[in-house]
Amino acid sequence: MSVIVPASLNDALQALARSPHATLLAGGTDLMVELNGGHRQVSEVVALARVAELRTWHHDPVAGVLHIGAGVTYAEIADEPIASWVPALAQAARTVGSPQIRHAATIGGNLGTCSPAGDGLPVLAALDATVHLASAAGARDLPLAEFMVAPKRTARLPGELITGVTVPVLGGWQGYSKVGVRNAMVIAVASVALVTDTVTESVRLALGSVGPTVLRCPDAERFAREHVDFEHRRVAAEALQRFVELARDEARPIDDHRSTAAYRRHAVGVLAGRLLRRAFPNE
Amino acid sequence: MSDPAGTDLGSNQAYVLHVNGQGRDVRDAWLGESLLFVLRERLGLMGSKGACEQGECGSCSVLVDGALVCSCLVLAAAAQGQQIVTIEGVAPVGSPSDVQQAFVDAGAVQCGFCTPGLIMATHSLLERSPEPTEMEIREELSGNICRCTGYGRIIDAVQRVAVARRSQVAP
């Protein structure tokens, strides 16, 4: 086994060019669990925690976007200033594990693992995030929906690493909600992110833990757009109920050791309705 | 590697960890070992406890470059060059830190297994938030599981330290 700890992005990319199938180690909160349990064999590890270029973020107020480096931790995302730019992502970050986990776990790691239960992913999906990838040969961008392929499978190619993600900084209300077995330290049984955009008067909804990857809800989004009143932050009770049904219909949950498909479908409906009501508090 | 700050380790190569202010050689170790395993089994620092080995229980909490993390989730070989502080580095034996003393005074120690992790988490919490509310304490210590106390006395201990530190600062 070998461990490479590059101190710059260029060194990391060169190391990956030499060992394209090396295992990438970010915060370790997924990989180390598998290593400790003997569930995974690794021969070459490239550890990314020391790559300074990945640990920064950049807010561009003119373009209205926030670039978050892959090595930015969930503790940093839960905190200011990122929390003000993407409040739903900060809310999701606050539900990730414990302080110990949030100090280590990174948004790039969350993307790379691509668990359907990854807490950051529904928010990134609702924000139509762009994922940035790089290799020694060059860089490319992918919409998140194309980056996520299947449970724990992404479009990242051998030799590539995730350098970051870009999201829009929007004016409207946004939030994240999840259901688990306790208030802290839980993996989501069902999770929902809802993002509103006051400029385009659109509502975007993404569901976690109820499908092979995070799911967007085009029917529910279209319906919401036609039935909410942005000016008075109003949605009628009947419209809210229909929105809940459309969100439930979009879910493709399974029964597993954490919950049942039926409960997950019910739960995403409850969470979606709750978030829409928070975004539009008036009836 | 061209960059002197980076490192490139082959199989069974020795490496150095900076633990409690000292450089410590780690020899003949498998490079896939967690920091927790290396601290206990290679360096003889038995204060950090191993239980879940998956970041759920917090018993192995240490500081790495000032950040509270679970040492079971840190790849030891990748932690070269970082400053690691374990429970052994918090205070010398026989003269406990204010947090350690408060845990004793408040009856927050029963079997003692979770205590080192909770002491590390409490030092970290009070560093970031000197006067935490009870909710904040509960949230900040949510990654440290204690099966004995029911947490009431632990929260009491944290509050005692906050009050004592405030009265030291105040004129």
CATH number at residue A181: 3.30.390.50
The beta-carbon neighbor of A97 closest among B53, B55, B80 is B55
- B16-29 exposure pattern, b = at least 16 Cβ within 10 A, e = fewer: ebbbbeeebebeeb
| B8, two tokens | 């490139």
Residues of B with CB below 8 A from A103's CB?
A: 67-69
Interface contact B11-A1, CB threshold 8 A: yes
Give the pLDDT mean for B14-33: 96
Size of interface A-B (CB pairs under 8 A): 126
B22, B73: one domain: yes
What's the pLDDT at A183? Answer: 81
H or E, element range at A102: helix A99-104
What amino acid is encoded at A118 in this protein? Answer: G
Q: Are residues B119 and B145 in the same domain?
A: yes
The predicted pLDDT at position B7 comes to 78
Give the confidence band of B12 by pLDDT, cuts at 50, 70, 90: low
Residue B144 lies in domain: 98-169
Output the CA torsion A159→A53→B81→B67 (10° steps).
-110
User: How many residues does the structure list for chain B?
Assistant: 171
Tens-digit pLDDT string for chain A (283 aa): 999 999 999 999 999 999 999 999 999 999 999 999 999 999 999 999 999 999 999 999 999 999 999 999 999 999 999 999 999 999 999 999 999 999 999 999 999 999 999 999 999 999 999 999 999 999 999 999 999 999 999 999 999 999 999 999 999 999 999 999 888 888 999 999 999 999 999 999 999 999 999 999 999 999 999 999 999 999 999 999 999 999 999 999 999 999 999 999 999 999 999 999 999 999 9
Structural contact between residues A4 and B8, judged by C-beta atoms closer than 8 angstroms: yes
Residues B110 and B160 placed together within one structural domain of the fold: yes
Tell me, what CATH number does B66's domain have? 3.10.20.30
pLDDT in tens, B139-164: 999 999 999 999 999 999 999 999 99
Q: Are strands A57-60 and A65-69 parallel, antiparallel or unpaired?
A: antiparallel
**C-alpha distances in Å from residue A204, one per residue of A215, B109, B156:** 11, 48, 44
Domain boundary among B61, B89, B117: B89
Task: Tell me the CATH number at B156.
Answer: 1.10.150.120
Closest CA relative to residue A72, chosen from A58, A85, A55: A55
Q: What's the confidence (pLDDT) of residue B73? A: 98
Q: Where are the beta strands (DSSP E) in chain B?
A: 7-9, 15-19, 22-26, 61-64, 67-70, 83-85
Helix B152-169 to helix B98-106 angle (10° resolution) is 130
> Per the CB < 8 Å rule, is A5 touching B56?
no
How many domains does one find in chain A? 2
pLDDT in tens, B86-108: 999 999 999 999 999 999 999 99
Residue B4 has pLDDT above 60, yes or no: no
pLDDT for res B3: 42
DSSP for A155-217 reads SPPTT-EEEEEEEE--SS-EEEEEE-SSSSS---SEEEEEEEETTTTEEEEEEESSSSS-EE-
Query: Quick one: A8 and A120 in the same domain?
Result: yes
CA of B73 to nearest chain A CA: how many angstroms apart? 5
Query: In terms of residues, how long is chain A?
Result: 283
Residue A221 belongs to what domain range? 174-279
Do residues A181 and A49 both lie within one domain?
A: no
pLDDT of B13: 84
Bond from prior residue into A87 cis (ω within 30 degrees of 0): no
Instruction: Tell me if B12 sits within 8 A of B28, measured CB to CB.
Output: yes
Judged against a pLDDT cut of 80, whether residue B170 lies above it is answered with no
Per-residue confidence band for B1, with pLDDT thresholds at 50, 70 and 90: very low
Look at residues A193, A220, A197, A206 and name the one whose alpha carbon lies nearest to residue A89: A193
**Cβ-contact A181, A189 below 8 angstroms:** yes
**Is B35 among the domain residues?**
yes
Sign of the C-alpha dihedral computed for residues B90, B93, B98 and B104 taken in this order: positive
Q: How many domains does chain B have?
A: 2
Classify the phi-psi angles of A28: left when phi > 0, otherwise alpha if psi is within -120 to 50, otherwise beta: left
| SS3 at position B38 | helix
Together in a domain, B82 and B105: no
Q: What is the pLDDT of residue B171?
A: 60
A152 and A221 within one domain: no
Which is nearest to A107 in space by CA: A216, A184, A52, A27? A27
Q: Would you say residue B4 lies in a domain?
A: no
Contact flag B142-A185 (C-beta cutoff 8 Å): yes
Q: A-chain residues within 8 Å CB-CB of B125?
A: 99
- Whether the Cβ atoms of residue A261 and residue A190 lie closer than 8 Å to each other: no
Token pair 């939030």 is found at: A175
Output A14 or B5, whichever has higher pLDDT. Answer: A14
Min distance B96 CA to chain A CA atoms (Å): 23
pLDDT at A239: 98
